[in-house]
Amino acid sequence: MRILVTGGLGFIGSRLVDDLVALDHEVVVLDSVADHVHAVDPDYRNPGAEHVVADVRDPDAWLAALAGVDAVSHQAARVGLGVSPADVRGYVGDNGVGTAVGLWAMHEVGFAGRFVLASSMVVYGEGAYTCPVDGPVRPGPRSAERLEAGRFEPPCPHCGADLAPGLVDEGARLDPRNTYAATKLHQEHLATVFGRETGVPVTSLRYHNVFGPRMPRDTPYAGVAAIFRSALERGEAPQVFEDGGQRRDFVHVADVSAANVAALTAAEPLIGAANVASGTPHTVGDLAVALAAAMGGPPPVVTGRFRLGDVRHVTASPQRAADLLGFRASVGFDEGVAEFATAPLRAAP
Ligand code: UD1
């Protein structure tokens, strides 16, 4: 197949490009190599792929890159949580407008292949919980007062009881809580509408907490695994927020790439959303301990500090991707963390 990968020089996109080239697909990369993403020109540019250096908001770049393409993997995005309200224009421009321009271009060229979107678990907001009294519930944002008092678990929104965290599935109510999350959901909605209007099969892969080689280094927008690794490299202890008991699904980039390959090439397309997760949740404290041990660094410090916008637990059922794409994560947590301890990271700009 001839496959267009936008953001094909990014953390996840570049892994996908390598895997698709290794599988003998023809790959076209559309990537802007933006200064605010790449401190230096990436040294891992795959020579087996064609490279178009342009912004996803550029209509002509999309039209050129789409020539002869059988499937599109839209990985290009401004990532992270957003650190200031001033970030809103950048997120909506890169993620919302960039996707809209791509959909427009696909319509212009009569694209009839598959469209696979890199979405995120952030569209769920807080995870799924069970209340002993009220059954399944989805708590709202935690109050500053509660967090300052060290009460990190969200209470039942109906009766205030303690909750048991569970797994979100794709039918869960969506509750984006930051600018990035709102633009990821907007991308899903735009792509879904486009799919209905044109018959193009649209798959939204909701990535959980991805880690692995080429992860961007410590920046205000970086994920916790890169932040912990960067601290340990400086000889400093990882700073664990809250009490370290917050649960996430840390999924290796090799598995996220494999899920994309499956979505692009499976006999039947998966229409709609699918979680991309390991299926084996871990706490942030677990991650800090495992990484500190793997790097022979100082043990983590559990700070009790918190970020008001953070959710407590968000872990996923990977069942839909398993049933419809045959995707199952293959990199175990211990193995992934051991590799990540020495994996090359992308320099921060
Ligand atoms: C992250 C991404 C989000 C992405 C999602 C799924 C960021 C900033 N967030 O959300 O964009 O869509 O994964 O892949 O990239 N923590 C610490 N110490 C630190 C930093 C964070 O303990 O120094 C804790 C946080 O309080 C949080 C957890 O680690 O509880 C995870 O934080 P983070 O990596 O930012 O990820 P998510 O918020 O889960």
Residue-wise pLDDT tens digits, 179-232: 999 999 999 999 999 999 999 999 999 999 999 999 988 776 689 999 999 999
pLDDT at 39: 73
CB of 320 shorter than 6 A to ligand 1: no
**HSE-CB of 155 using CA atoms within 13 angstroms:** 9
Helix axis angle, 284-295 relative to 224-233, nearest 10°?
Answer: 30
Per-residue pLDDT reduced to its tens digit, 12-51: 999 999 999 999 999 999 999 887 777 778 889 999 999 9
| Residue whose C-alpha is closest to residue 165's, from 254, 282, 60, 287 | 282
Model pTM? 0.96
At 46, list the tokens.
Answer: 């795959």
CB of 253 shorter than 6 A to ligand 1: no
On whether the CB atoms of residues 12 and 75 are closer than 8 A, the answer is yes
Amino acid letter, 86: A
Name the residue at shortest CA distance from atom 27 of ligand 1.
310
| Residue whose C-alpha is closest to residue 318's, from 282, 269, 281, 267 | 281
91 catalytic? Reply is no
Amino acid letter, 111: F
Q: Pick from 152, 184, 210, 224 the residue to mutate for probing ligand 1's pocket: most ligand atoms within 8 Å of its CB.
A: 224
Residue 5 Cα, ligand 1 centroid: separation in angstroms?
25
| Active-site pick, 91, 124, 129, 180 | 180
DSSP code of residue 231: H
Residue 225 Cα, ligand 1 centroid: separation in angstroms?
8
| Residue whose C-alpha is closest to residue 46's, from 83, 79, 84, 3 | 3
CB of 210 shorter than 6 A to ligand 1: yes
Q: How far, in Å, CA of 12 to CA of 261, rounded? A: 12
Residue 66 Cα, ligand 1 centroid: separation in angstroms?
34
pLDDT at 220: 65
CB of 239 shorter than 6 A to ligand 1: yes
Q: How far, in Å, CA of 348 to CA of 40, rounded? A: 9
CB of 82 shorter than 6 A to ligand 1: no
Q: How far, in Å, CA of 160 to CA of 156, rounded? A: 4
Q: How far, in Å, CA of 67 to CA of 28, rounded? A: 10
Residue ranges in the chain whose pLDDT is less than 50 = none
CB of 81 shorter than 6 A to ligand 1: yes
